[in-house]
Amino acid sequence: MKINNQDVVESNAYKFIQKALVSSDSTEKLVSDLESQRYRYRREKDKLKYLTVVSQYVQEESEKHSKECKNPSNCSQSKALGEATFFLNQMLEEYGIGINNDEVFTNEERYENNKKLDDMLQEIETLKMGQEIIYDDLKKEIEELKNLYFIGKKNWYQNLAGKSLEMVASGVVNETISKKLISIAGVMFNNLIQD
């Protein structure tokens, strides 16, 4: 899992993973430590981001372990990872996001979305001559989107659509670029409109 060390929340989540999660001797202590760490943050989005980073790690470790485990029904690590997943899922559900549902971005989905956003920026960069202010604004908005995957798919795609419409209305981008932004959301965006 790649951690952005410039991000305080991600960095602290990674430290928690290294200390408490890896060396925890009981699920109760793990949950207690996780709750304590979560409440260090005042903003709900930081709490959610923290939980999301930890849950991604637990999910990745659980998937890796399940492939290697010879006796999952009697394995203490399988049990611990299962319990950690259960309690993390409960915490995330408080925010409307669960580990085992379609709301959480996979690493592949994050990579694909980032690639599409980067490709679009690259295409726009060739057109930016004399439009540096507009390009810089657009780049800032896209970079912000790349850091919001922790809010879940539905909220992320709604944010993408909202930013696109806002940028068109304010004249930052034209309708063609906005359509490219919205097309990144693809089928998921269409499902949001129908909901």
181, burial (CB in 10 Å: exposed 0-12, middle 13-18, buried 19+): buried
pLDDT band at 182 (very low <50, low <70, confident <90, very high): low
**CA atoms of 193 and 171, how far apart (whole Å):** 24
Q: CB under 8 Å to 140, separation ≥6 — which residues?
A: none
pLDDT band at 173 (very low <50, low <70, confident <90, very high): low
Whether the per-residue pLDDT at 144 is higher than 80: the answer is yes
pLDDT attached to residue 175: 65
Q: CB under 8 Å to 175, separation ≥6 — which residues?
A: 168
pLDDT attached to residue 133: 55
State which of 57-61, 101-105, 150-154 shows the largest mean pLDDT: 57-61
Element (H, E) at 13: helix 8-16
pLDDT attached to residue 187: 47
**CA atoms of 116 and 108, how far apart (whole Å):** 12
**CA atoms of 94 and 46, how far apart (whole Å):** 14
DSSP for 49-79 reads: HHHHHHHHHHHHHHHHHHHH-S-TTT-HHHH
**Encoding tokens for residue 38?**
């979560």
Whether the per-residue pLDDT at 193 is higher than 60: the answer is no
Average pLDDT in the 69-95 region?
82
Whether the per-residue pLDDT at 171 is higher than 70: the answer is no
What is this structure's pTM?
0.57
**Which amino acid would we find at residue 146?**
K
Q: What is the pLDDT of residues 33-75, one digit of tens each?
A: 888 888 888 888 888 888 888 888 888 888 888 888 888 788 8
- On average, the pLDDT of the chain sits at 75
pLDDT attached to residue 46: 86
5, burial (CB in 10 Å: exposed 0-12, middle 13-18, buried 19+): exposed
Quote the crossing angle between the two packed helices 76-93 and 27-38, to the nearest 10°: 30
34, burial (CB in 10 Å: exposed 0-12, middle 13-18, buried 19+): buried
